[in-house]
Chain A
């Protein structure tokens, strides 16, 4: 695989990863051999058709599943189980309905045994950063889908992990809110310098957010291309300048062609990884 030079500091190293699922009809191959290196502070996006095994890869990095073959290292340590240094943001159904916004965001710190005063400080800062001021004592069912995802993101950031794994975190919110959330995430990442691994099936999202975009083939997935996205500046990204930038549009089209080549070739590939229509606003 076209991995980066070995002399840079790799935060996450996936080598020779291959995964099979046991089902009632026997073993099903989820991914082909995958090798990925993610540098510290890098924002890597992974785009691919649904069912290509991208979530499987993320779950393995998170430590939720053990790979059938290959190894995953985080900071040189073999990943065997979930850990505080690897935070996860799910697509939906992740924040707890019986906790208020404040209690959800502070949950990781509470588990870590951080003192109440210190916890309150961190939580307040994140509530401000994620635009949740005024909703601190609401329960999740009183919030919109977009705000619930803000809480999920804030909860993960509050626990201060080195690595953040995001599994289509904005797929379930409406198109308009999604644009805002993507911009906010870019700003948050720039402000906190986290290593992020972000899964999506939206080409625009992948190019907009990623420092590097990995393109996966259909199942059993492997990395078929790696595209560097040159950034003039960390942060300060917004959709208006992104859509007006011919270089960015060129990259997006290149990625789109790569992803589209995977469509229809496989059996029953319903979902089309097309460019998000909302990006033209």
Chain B
């Protein structure tokens, strides 16, 4: 067994510890900078275009102006209202589609025949994007939050079902056999083998689903016009408020990163990474 502890024989000179700490801090900063570089480039290019050409503000605003608009929207509570609507919608959708999608994925995954017959159907559904359901959903549910929810849940649920199914099927048969010979019943197998065994794949499904779902949400909000960031940017178009459109778009991108980092990654860290099951 390779112990990961530091060699105890070597004692660092006093002072070198401090410089090591500083070095570690520097490395962390460099890593953050690396992540921020592409964003800086984007802003620079945007600024250069605005400065070099003769673009009026109803075609393109400068980054500074966008920043001012952002501050204005935030300080007046407008941004919070639109953003919270979007976040609430994605949150509700994630909860509902996980609690429906995971059991369906299980039921299909443990049954080889069901898995075979449903694989094609799930791919078919994957092909029909959530947006393609909008016309029907609007006719059935009107311009309402229900319509938006239906679209987003549908978008989220397909990858969750699909990946749960794949996760269940990828569990080594020996795990199940070993537990059965230890006297495990069906419920035990579900809680001790199938659920944790399928979790890495379920998280992948949820992560994919959140990506698709977030996009579908913005699109649905643009048409339904009952609040949310999609409503914000589509409404701004009517008045040619380029600054609002751009600020809205940036917020959409940033919030997605936050959702992914704050919700999905912690699940991964406390479970899959600890078990050594993370697929890199």
| Further 7 A-B residue pairs, CB within 8 A, beyond A62-B177, A93-B175, A97-B277 | A96-B175, A111-B179, A111-B182, A139-B276, A140-B276, A141-B277, A159-B182
Measured CB to CB, the nearest residue on chain A to B1 is: A144
By a CB distance below 8 angstroms, the chain B residues around A140 are: 276
Give chain A interface residues in 117-151, CB to chain B under 8 Å. Answer: 135, 139-144, 147
Asked if A111 and B184 sit within 8 Å, CB to CB, the answer is yes
Q: Which of B172, B178, B182, B271 contacts A98 (CB 8 A)?
A: B271
Can you name 23 A-B pairs with beta carbons within 8 Å? A63-B181, A64-B177, A81-B180, A83-B183, A84-B182, A90-B174, A90-B178, A93-B175, A94-B174, A94-B175, A94-B178, A95-B178, A96-B193, A97-B275, A98-B197, A98-B271, A107-B182, A107-B192, A139-B275, A140-B276, A141-B276, A143-B1, A159-B182
By a CB distance below 8 angstroms, the chain B residues around A84 are: 181-183
Q: Which residues does B use to contact A, with CB under 8 Å?
A: 1, 172, 174-175, 177-184, 188, 192-193, 196-197, 199, 271, 274-277
Q: Which of B181, B192, B197 contacts A88 (CB 8 A)?
A: B181
- CA–CA, A144 and B188, complex, Å: 28
- Take A107-B192, A139-B276, A142-B276 as given contacts and tell me if A93 and B172 are in contact as well, using a CB distance cutoff of 8 Å: yes
Asked if A83 and B181 sit within 8 Å, CB to CB, the answer is yes
- CA–CA, A144 and B199, complex, Å: 24
- Distance of B65 from chain A, by nearest CB (Å): 52
Asked if A87 and B182 sit within 8 Å, CB to CB, the answer is yes
Q: Describe B's contact surface by its main secondary structure.
A: helix
- CA–CA, A139 and B181, complex, Å: 22
- Distance of B188 from chain A, by nearest CB (Å): 6
- Take A98-B271, A147-B1 as given contacts and tell me if A88 and B178 are in contact as well, using a CB distance cutoff of 8 Å: yes
Is there a chain B Cβ closer than 8 Å to A112's Cβ?
Answer: yes
Asked if A112 and B275 sit within 8 Å, CB to CB, the answer is no
Asked if A96 and B274 sit within 8 Å, CB to CB, the answer is no
Is there a chain B Cβ closer than 8 Å to A86's Cβ?
Answer: yes
- Distance of A77 from chain B, by nearest CB (Å): 15
By a CB distance below 8 angstroms, the chain B residues around A53 are: none
By a CB distance below 8 angstroms, the chain B residues around A62 are: 177, 181
Asked if B275 and A98 sit within 8 Å, CB to CB, the answer is yes
Asked if B183 and A139 sit within 8 Å, CB to CB, the answer is no
- Take A90-B177, A94-B174 as given contacts and tell me if A159 and B275 are in contact as well, using a CB distance cutoff of 8 Å: no
Asked if A97 and B276 sit within 8 Å, CB to CB, the answer is yes
- CA–CA, A144 and B3, complex, Å: 11
By a CB distance below 8 angstroms, the chain A residues around B177 are: 62, 64, 82, 88, 90, 94
Asked if B192 and A96 sit within 8 Å, CB to CB, the answer is yes
Is there a chain B Cβ closer than 8 Å to A221's Cβ?
Answer: no
Is there a chain B Cβ closer than 8 Å to A273's Cβ?
Answer: no
- CA–CA, A238 and B197, complex, Å: 39
Count chain A CB atoms within 10 A of each CB in B1, B188, B197, B199 and give the residue with the most.
Answer: B1
Is there a chain B Cβ closer than 8 Å to A108's Cβ?
Answer: yes
Give chain A interface residues in 31-78, CB to chain B under 8 Å. Answer: 62-64
- CA–CA, A159 and B184, complex, Å: 12
Asked if A112 and B193 sit within 8 Å, CB to CB, the answer is no
Measured CB to CB, the nearest residue on chain B to A146 is: B1
Q: Which residues does A use to contact B, with CB under 8 Å?
A: 62-64, 81-84, 86-88, 90, 92-98, 107-108, 111-112, 135, 139-144, 147, 152, 155, 159
By a CB distance below 8 angstroms, the chain A residues around B193 are: 96
By a CB distance below 8 angstroms, the chain A residues around B184 are: 111
Q: Which of B180, B183, B277 contacts A159 (CB 8 A)?
A: B183
- Distance of B155 from chain A, by nearest CB (Å): 30
Q: Which of B1, B196, B271 contacts A96 (CB 8 A)?
A: B196
Asked if A108 and B182 sit within 8 Å, CB to CB, the answer is yes
- CA–CA, A81 and B182, complex, Å: 12
- CA–CA, A88 and B182, complex, Å: 8
Q: Which of A86, A88, A141, A152 contacts B275 (CB 8 A)?
A: A141
Measured CB to CB, the nearest residue on chain B to A88 is: B181
Measured CB to CB, the nearest residue on chain A to B184 is: A111
- Distance of A214 from chain B, by nearest CB (Å): 22
By a CB distance below 8 angstroms, the chain B residues around A83 are: 181, 183
Asked if A135 and B180 sit within 8 Å, CB to CB, the answer is no
- CA–CA, A281 and B93, complex, Å: 64
Measured CB to CB, the nearest residue on chain A to B180 is: A82
By a CB distance below 8 angstroms, the chain A residues around B174 are: 90, 92-94
By a CB distance below 8 angstroms, the chain A residues around B172 are: 93
- Distance of B46 from chain A, by nearest CB (Å): 46
By a CB distance below 8 angstroms, the chain A residues around B271 are: 98
